[in-house]
Amino acid sequence: MNAFLCAVISCWALTSTAFAFSPTIIARTWTKAASKVSLSMKEENNDDLSSFSLDRRQMLGQTLSASVALGGMSFLPMQAIAEGGGIGTNPEHPIVVIGAGGKCGKLCTEILNAKGLYTKGVTRSGRETLDSPSKFVSYGPGDVTSYDSIKAAVQGASGVIFAASASGKKKGGEPKQVDYVGVYNTAKACLECSVPKLVVISAGTVTRPDSAGFKATNFFVKYVYGDKIMDYKIAGEEAMRELYAASSDKSLGYAVVRPGGLSDGPPKGSAELNLSQGDVLSSEISRTDVAEVTVAALLKGAATDFTTFELNQNEGLNKAQGNLPDLPSELIHTGTSSYGGLLDGLFTDQEMQSKYPSIVNSFKGAGIEPIGNLA
What integer pLDDT is reported at residue 86 of this predicted model? 85
Query: What are the Cα distances from residue 216, in Å, to 5, 22, 220, 243, 347?
Result: 13, 17, 6, 30, 29
Query: Within 13 A of 115's CA, how many CA atoms are on the CB side?
Result: 19
What integer pLDDT is reported at residue 15 of this predicted model? 36
Domains of the chain by range and CATH?
95-373 (3.40.50.720)
Q: Which amino acid is at 169?
A: K
Q: Dump the DSSP string for 143-202.
A: -TT-HHHHHHHHTT-SEEEE-----BTTTTB-HIIIIIIIHHHHHHHHHHTT-SEEEEE-
DSSP 272: G
What is the rounded distance in angstroms from the CA atom of residue 330 to the CA atom of residue 302?
19
What is the rounded distance in angstroms from the CA atom of residue 91 to the CA atom of residue 118?
5
Evaluate whether 276 touches 310 at the Cβ level (below 8 Å): yes
Evaluate whether 208 touches 318 at the Cβ level (below 8 Å): no
DSSP 16: G
What is the rounded distance in angstroms from the CA atom of residue 40 to the CA atom of residue 83?
57
Evaluate whether 92 touches 275 at the Cβ level (below 8 Å): no
Sign of CA dihedral 273, 350, 305, 198: negative
Write the Ramachandran bin of 368: left for phi over 0, alpha for psi from -120 to 50, otherwise beta. beta
What integer pLDDT is reported at residue 173 of this predicted model? 87
Successive 10-residue mean pLDDT values, the chain, 375 residues: 45 37 35 38 32 48 53 46 72 97 97 98 96 97 97 98 87 89 98 98 98 95 93 98 97 98 97 98 98 98 97 98 96 98 98 98 97 93
Q: Which amino acid is at 132?
A: S
Query: What are the Cα distances from residue 300, in Å, to 113, 177, 253, 268, 279?
Result: 17, 30, 11, 21, 22
What integer pLDDT is reported at residue 41 of this predicted model? 32
What is the rounded distance in angstroms from the CA atom of residue 233 to the CA atom of residue 200?
10
What integer pLDDT is reported at residue 55 of this predicted model? 53
What is the rounded distance in angstroms from the CA atom of residue 293 to the CA atom of residue 304?
11
Longest Cα–Cα distance of the chain, Å, equals: 64
What integer pLDDT is reported at residue 30 of this predicted model? 36
What is the rounded distance in angstroms from the CA atom of residue 102 to the CA atom of residue 84?
30
